[in-house]
Structure 1
Amino acid sequence: MAELKASQPALKVVDYLGTGSVYVTTSKKEKIPPVGVSGVKKVAENTDLPIVAIGGIQEDNVATLKDAPIAGIATISAITKSNNVARTVKVLKQRGR
């Protein structure tokens, strides 16, 4: 979090922060340990910028972010691997609220 606080002046040109990977993701080659919901919350507590959670977010785990102070989620595989994108988006929105 020290890095985030130190970079506050540079963040004046940033509209939001993508924060994650929340969970293990198959969309990235790098194998960086996920930050989890607690990591997302820590970032949110240390900035005034809107937070968009990203990384490994699926229909079965999006509800864990329900109480996190985030502006939204971003997902790749939940959409690209879906057989019914409209239904998947609806489920993500319902469970993530």
Structure 2
Amino acid sequence: MGKQKLKGIYLITDTQGQDRYSHVELADAAYRAGVQMVQYRAKDRSDRKALEEIREIAGLKSKGDHLLIVNDRPDLAKMGGADGVHLGQDDLSVSVAARLLGEEAIIGGTSANLEEAKKVEEAGADYVALGHIFETSTKEKEYAPRGITTLHKVRQEIDLPLVAIGGIRLENAPQVIDAGADILAVSSAICRAEDPQQAARKLVELFE
């Protein structure tokens, strides 16, 4: 799965909103369901524990078919054998992460509006994430949901693969795809589901 083919469902692992499944179990369920991209996001982990889990998830993915992205930490991504890193507005620059991880690494950036999305694109990222699109309980937000209108506007101006994130569920996913999102980043819709693999599979089917 090359950089130019980034498309589909992008799971962001979460063990703070639920404690039935570990990061590794969630990633495994997602990969089995056909999810191509998984982001390991664990703010509450020590570096040692995080590295252990990243390496375990990296061992689950099929080479070429599945991708593992690490949130915020290019150093852990490199040591753990991940495929790339997702950077927030206040994290390391794309160029620094690229030097650390190499040309083949996938580097994504967060944006909340068109101006920030353009900055991410100009910085040389491989994808732009826009959000939050809808209300979400996964992360505390300081601003209102961006909505479908903003997503559509950004789509018109950005050439990179566009990731929509925030409050995306099976019920509202079709309108997000229709607005131009290449990738749907989801967390609670899979992580907090009774059966994460089944929930992931239903989302994957939207792109088939």
Task: Specify the TM-score bucket, using the shorter chain as the normaliser.
Answer: 0.7 to 0.9
Q: Which residue, 186, 196, 205 being the options, matches 1:75? A: 186
Instruction: Give the TM-score normalised by structure 2.
Output: 0.41
- Whether the 8 Å contact between 1:52 and 1:72 is mirrored in structure 2 is yes
Structure with higher Rg: it is 2
Give the structure, 1 or 2, with the largest relative contact order (CA under 8 Å, sep 6 or more).
Answer: 1
Corresponding residue for 1:36? 147
Q: Would you say how many aligned residue pairs link Structure 1 and Structure 2?
A: 96
Q: Which residue of 2 aligns with 1:21?
A: 132
Q: Deviations over 1:3-23 (max 9, x none)?
A: 258737x62421111011110
* Secondary structure of residue in 1 paired with 2:178: coil
Cα contact 1:65–1:96 (8 A) shared by 2: no
Aligned position for 1:65: 176
Shifted more, 48-57 versus 87-96: the winner is 87-96
The one-letter code matched in structure 1 to 2:184 is I
For 2:119, the aligned partner's letter is S
Query: C-alpha displacement at 1:31, in angstroms?
Result: 4.0
Per-residue deviation, residues 43-78 of structure 1 (Å, max 9, x unmatched): 111111110100000122112123122221101111
TM-score, structure 1 normalization = 0.82
Aligned CA RMSD, in angstroms, stands at: 2.4
The residue type equivalent to 1:40 in the other structure is L
Determine the structure 1 residue equivalent to 2:100.
none
Could you tell me the percent identity over the aligned residues? 28
Between the aligned partners of 1:38 and 1:2, the Cα distance in structure 2 is 11
Segments ≥4 residues shifted beyond 4 Å? none
Provide structure 2 residue ranges, at least 5 long, that are not aligned to the other structure.
1-112
Cα distance change of structure 1 residues 33 and 96 upon mapping to structure 2, 3 Å threshold: farther
Partner of 2:197: 86
The residue aligned with 1:56 is 167
The answer to whether the 8 Å contact 1:23/1:36 transfers is yes
Question: What is the CA–CA distance in structure 2 between the aligned matches of 1:54 and 1:5, rounded to whole Å?
Answer: 13
Contact 2:190-2:197 within 8 A present in 1 as well: no
